[in-house]
Structure 1
């Protein structure tokens, strides 16, 4: 590679070795290759990882930097070592000390499904823990039975104690059914509805305030409901509109006598209006 070529070029440009010496300097690539083989032999389980690390160009440059740094820091070992074991500090695994991990790509869909399943299990665990000591269904059914018993019509007992009865020792008190008015059977609207309680006696007090027919001048129930639902307070209307909405239909002075309407005067006024309207038509 480029690093090995640069090293070989520097070695060739450095001139020939001195006479009498047959030693040849090894390039970084050759050193890395030999170290990888030795490390793989020492630990066969990491052979694949060591081979990938030795073939990575970026790791080659990093390993060469580490090697140069160790050379500078080492004062005991000689630069002109005679065997490859001394060059790599007598420990092949130290030369490949950079930790590398093989990353396996996991599909995104699988991760999403795993998170969904994990979330469902967590939610189920939370619900189980929340209602661990609570029997919600049984409590609701018990409450429904109590409401039915409380709202069930009661029989009326019209028996007058002492009237028509014998008294004295040995006389047993017999209950007379003919003086008991039995309450009519009432069919509940929630009888066949599971998980529902309808209170039959609720809101009975407001029925007297509900109109039976649509009041004048309204002709539709929807118009009357819309008028009733319209607020008249200052918070929802302007001051002028609020005054008009709350203005009474009849205004008189305090202490003034208000006489009843005269029937004849009302009839005359109505007849005058009808005649004037007929003249206007002609």
Structure 2
């Protein structure tokens, strides 16, 4: 599954990703591919194999989905690792979050559930079909890798010794922005908007991190940009990390606080990772993330 960026770039995050799945009862378990007139376009996407057909659920089915959704939501909550904002320390397991609030975009979250919104010739229409859980092979996943220069989608098959396939990529300057969509299955959805006004709705356990990077809420810093007090705090943080943890990365957030993150293999399941992090101010003191930081 190895894939490496170019010598002049580094991988800021790599995480499994897929097209999102409807959460509200009328669209639960569904996803659609639309043009800007809400016309179904999945039959027009070049190279895409046939996929499942979805329809809005009848009221009786919606009631059953509400019950099932409540049980699943409770399970996700039980698995979620909490953030200690008082001390500035956090350990989060990828994929552990929950849905919250009401639909922010009812037309796209309750009345319909497009995961692709794209006029002819736009960038979203070029996304690979392997993102679709209803089309991709068993034991196959897609990873999103974000570097300073680009977003890359990688195909990983059942042979873990084989190199990952580069399915798609786009330069960062073709991305107009990204937002986290809390009203979603597991609270893990995000929308990526391209500069040609097309967009896609995806799901990832690292959705908030992806949004922060793709929206430039996080500015990657070299360790040399830290103050002496911050470097001292980082040394204590590194000393407490698991032995298998990767070297930390440093980000300047919108509020001016510095986020320090390090990845380590998760204890709760094979193939999962957990993120150890601290937020700190100018003198290395604990800091709280502010609105817009993440």
Where on the TM-score scale, by shorter chain, does this alignment land: which range? under 0.3
Greater relative contact order structure (CA < 8 Å, 6+ sep):
2
TM-score w.r.t. the length of structure 2 is 0.16
The structure that is helix-richer by fraction is 1
The structure that is strand-richer by fraction is 2
TM-score w.r.t. the length of structure 1 is 0.16
Structure with the greater alpha carbon radius of gyration: 1
